[in-house]
Amino acid sequence: MLRSQRNARRQIQVLIGIWSLEVNGEERPIAVPGSWNEQYQDLCYEKGPFTYKTTFYVPEELSQKHIRLYFAAVNTDCDVFLNGEKVGENHIGYLPFEVDVTGKVKPGENELRVVVENRLKVGGFPSKVPDSGTHTVGFFGSFPPANFDFFPYGGIIRPVLVEFSNHARILDIWVDTSESEPEKKLGKVKVKIEVSEEAVGQEMTIKLGEAEKKVRTSDRFVEEEFILENARFWYLEDPYLYPLKVELERDEYTLDIGIRTISWDEKKLYLNGKPVFLKGFGKHEEFPVLGQGTFYPLMIKDFNLLKWINANSFRTSHYPYSEEWLDLADRLGILVIDEAPHVGITRYHYNPETQKIAEDNIRRMIDRDKNHPSVIMWSVANEPESNHPDAEGFFKALYETAKEMDRTRPVVMVSMMDAPDKRTRDVALKYFDIVCVNRYYGWYIYQGRIEEGLQALEKDIEELYARHRKPIFVTEFGADAIAGIHYDPPQMFSEEYQAELVEKTIRLLLKKDYIIGTHVWAFADFKTPQNVRRPILNHKGVFTRDRQPKLVAHVLRRLWSDGD
Ligand SMILES: O=C(O)[C@H]1O[C@@H](Oc2ccc([N+](=O)[O-])cc2)[C@H](O)[C@@H](O)[C@@H]1O
């Protein structure tokens, strides 16, 4: 599926603004995109179902077009009604879905209603803490009982679009540059295009930069390859994008693509054949009042801060972010580890039905993000209960699902397991291309003892490498610091403690030649469910929730300025 695009052949209406929300039979205004939890205090902990309502207007000449509704994301379960008729439903947050409403849209006024429910589910998504507890002990007893460490926001969190195109149209585009040869500046760009039945037999033009190919479609798929001598590759220092434009007789679609290769061996990750070390963060897409609503100024600010601090990457923990994050990463030269909305997976997920849902989520994430040069890795889950015997088959299947979709990028699972204590032995990590682990030495264990924590970390990491013989990516480590709290000698929760722990951990890990990256948890403070560990926010941010630097931000900026 291609996302809706405004161009010379396609029109879109963007249904953002003030909708109405029906709560217990009463209507109130509600902003879309956004989460209801922060717009109304009395809805902070409500799960719905609530009915969102808006109207849109369609001129006569557009009403006969191919028309689809594109929901960039709704959290979480929803039913979609157009003029009173149910036209679609969706059951996972953070991923787009389309509803084909061709022939169902009236000239003039149309009413769109979306019934949204955001219920935590044991063994489902979003994951609820099981009554018997969970592998992530920290979440037991939290309110709301989310089996993860961020606030479970509900609502239409991303834009809703109505797209009008011709019936003979482009349905999907796949771009593969993995066989390019960067050292020879030889770009090999394979392009596969899917068109609708109505477009079969039409002439198609494919333009890549200055190059152009004309073909006649003989079935629904077209495959072509562009060979570019002296190609300008997509590098972090020069994230060059080529416009790829596909034209049919009465449809067109443009993608900005980057020519680059990703590879890996036993010790390193390579971008265009050169080793790359990942410096950056796990983060969240959330903000005061907005909840998890798409908010463009925040994206610009965050990219500006990533550049300021000399980071080169981030992980979309713990769900795919709004698509514009990836557009910006492509354009600005920031690498992205794209994570499925699979956080808080427990033994209650390990059954065929849930596995099928998870596989589908992974397919949908890869389908959405496959053409972004910035995306260099797929993460199938964060901190699942992967020391449980049933995790093995479940995650092996998720790995294979991702690989069937995309052989060009490494596929990983982020584990909190496989530490020296045998009870944490991970049964699934062995299937993945790169060993990704979250480690909190000097925080949850060895509290207040940075040096002892570092020794334990070193032993842990050496054992991990000896067992797996694969590159290791430390995807999380860090400490809470409440902005403005200072203490000498450094105490937990002071800015000094966070700065010292983060700096010493990075310096230690830099000495191991099989470590491919260190991502600090987290980019900025963020809101969590209520529990004794969290004074309203998780305070592990390097920046405050409103994006001001803590002491550690200045330390990282210097540490990361060496260009490696
Ligand atoms: O805790 C954190 O700050 C972060 O760490 C990770 O979750 C943990 C929770 C509890 C424990 N523990 O009790 O040992 C270890 C890890 C998560 O990936 C992340 O979402 C969370 O915000």
Pair 476, 439: CB distance under 8 Å: yes
> CB 8: neighbour CB atoms within 10 A?
9
Q: Is the pLDDT of residue 433 over 60?
A: yes
Each domain of the chain, given as residue ranges in start order, spans 11-118+153-165, 170-250, 264-560
Binding site membership of 436 for ligand 1 (Cβ less than 6 Å): no
Q: What spatial distance separates the first Cα and last Cα of the chain, rounded to whole Å?
A: 37
Note the pLDDT tens digit of each residue in 516-547: 999 999 999 999 999 999 999 999 999 999 99
Average pLDDT for the chain = 97
Task: Note the pLDDT tens digit of each residue in 15-73.
Answer: 999 999 999 999 999 999 999 999 999 999 999 999 999 999 999 999 999 999 999 99
pLDDT-derived band at 563, boundaries 50, 70, 90 = low
Q: Which atom of ligand 1 is nearest to the CA of 540?
A: 3
Residue 132 has pLDDT above 90, yes or no: no
DSSP 8-class letter at 479: -
Helix (H) / strand (E) containing 453: helix 450-468
Percent of the chain with pLDDT over 90: 98
* Phi–psi pair at 7, nearest 5 degrees: -155, -170
The tokens for 330 are 């492509």
* CB hemisphere CA count around 468 (13 angstroms): 30
pLDDT at residue 139, rounded to an integer: 85
> Is the CATH number 2.40.30.170 carried by domain 11-118+153-165?
no
Q: Assess whether the C-beta atom of 286 lies below 6 angstroms from ligand 1.
A: no
Ligand 1 centroid–CA 416 distance in Å is 8
Q: Which of 494, 445, 512 is nearest to 277 (CA)?
A: 512
pLDDT in tens, 155-178: 999 999 999 999 999 999 999 999
- What does the pLDDT average to over 423-444? 98
List the alpha helices (DSSP H) in 26-129.
36-39
Number of H helices, E strands in the chain: 8, 30
pTM for the complete prediction?
A: 0.98
Task: Kindly give, in sequence order, each residue whose CB lies less than 8 Å from that of residue 219, ignoring residues fewer than 6 positions away.
Answer: 200
Which letter does DSSP use for residue 165 in this model? E
Please name which of 253, 71, 59 lies closest in space to residue 168, comparing C-alpha atoms: 253
Q: How confident is the model at residue 136 (pLDDT cuts 50, 70, 90)?
A: confident
By most ligand atoms within 8 Å of CB, the mutation choice from 436, 444, 460, 473 for ligand 1 is 444
Mean pLDDT of the region 225-231: 98
- Residues of 208-244 as b/e, b for ≥16 C-beta within 10 angstroms? bbeeeeeeebeeeebeeebebeebebbbbeebbbbeb
Whether the ipTM is more than 0.90: the answer is yes
Atom 20 of ligand 1: nearest residue by CA position = 149
**CA 149 to centroid of ligand 1, rounded, Å:** 7
Q: Residue 133 — very low, low, confident or very high, per pLDDT cuts 50/70/90?
A: confident
Q: Ligand 1: distance of its center to the CA of 315 in Å?
A: 15
Q: Which of 6, 186, 161 has its CA nearest to residue 98?
A: 161
Tell me which residue of 252, 237, 180, 192 sits closest to 219, measured CA to CA: 192
Identity at 40, one-letter amino acid code? Y
Closest ligand 1 atom to the C-alpha of 137? 13
Residue with tokens 């029109």: 11
Residue closest via CA to ligand 1's atom 13 equals: 138
Write out pLDDT tens, residues 101-129.
999 999 999 999 999 999 999 999 999 99
pLDDT for res 564 = 47
Residue nearest to atom 7 of ligand 1 (CA): 149
Q: Is 380 in the pocket of ligand 1 (CB under 6 A)?
A: no
532 lines ligand 1 (CB under 6 A): no
Share of the chain above pLDDT 70, in %: 100
Q: CB–CB of 127/346 below 8 Å?
A: yes
The answer, yes or no, to whether any atom of ligand 1 lies below 6 A from the CB of 136, is yes
Ligand 1 contact, 446 CB (< 6 A): no
State which ligand 1 atom lies nearest to the alpha carbon of 383. 18
Residues 316-362 have pLDDT tens digits of: 999 999 999 999 999 999 999 999 999 999 999 999 999 999 999 99
Asked if 255 contacts 494 with a C-beta cutoff of 8 angstroms, the reply is: no
Any atom of ligand 1 within 6 Å of the Cβ of 382: yes
Identify any residues that bridge with 68 across adjacent strands, giving them in sequence order: 100, 163
* 295 close to ligand 1 (CB < 6 Angstrom): no
Rounded CA separation 384/382 (Å): 6
The pick from 150, 424, 440 for probing ligand 1's pocket by mutation, whose C-beta has the most ligand atoms within 8 angstroms, reads: 440
Average pLDDT over residues 421-438: 97
Between CA 36 and CA 39, with CA 38 as vertex, the angle to 5 degrees is 65
Catalytic residues: 383, 476
Fold of 264-560: TIM Barrel (3.20.20)
Q: Whose CA is nearest to atom 19 of ligand 1?
A: 149
Residue 383 Cβ inside 6 Å of ligand 1? The answer reads yes
Radius of gyration over every alpha carbon of the chain, rounded to an integer in angstroms: 24
Whether the Cβ atoms of residue 543 and residue 305 lie closer than 8 Å to each other:
yes
pLDDT at 311 over 70: yes
CB of 137 within 6 A of ligand 1: the answer is yes
Contact 180, 263 (CB under 8 A): no
The protein residue with its alpha carbon nearest to ligand 1, atom 10, reads 138
Domain made up of 170-250: CATH architecture: Sandwich (2.60)
Return the amino acid letter for 168: A
- What is the rounded distance in angstroms from the CA atom of residue 530 to the CA atom of residue 128? 14
Q: Decide: 65 and 100 in contact? Cβ < 8 Å.
A: no
What pLDDT score was predicted for residue 562?
76
Q: State how far the Cα of 474 lies from the Cα of 435, in Å rounded to an integer.
A: 8
Output the residue whose Cα is nearest ligand 1's atom 2.
149
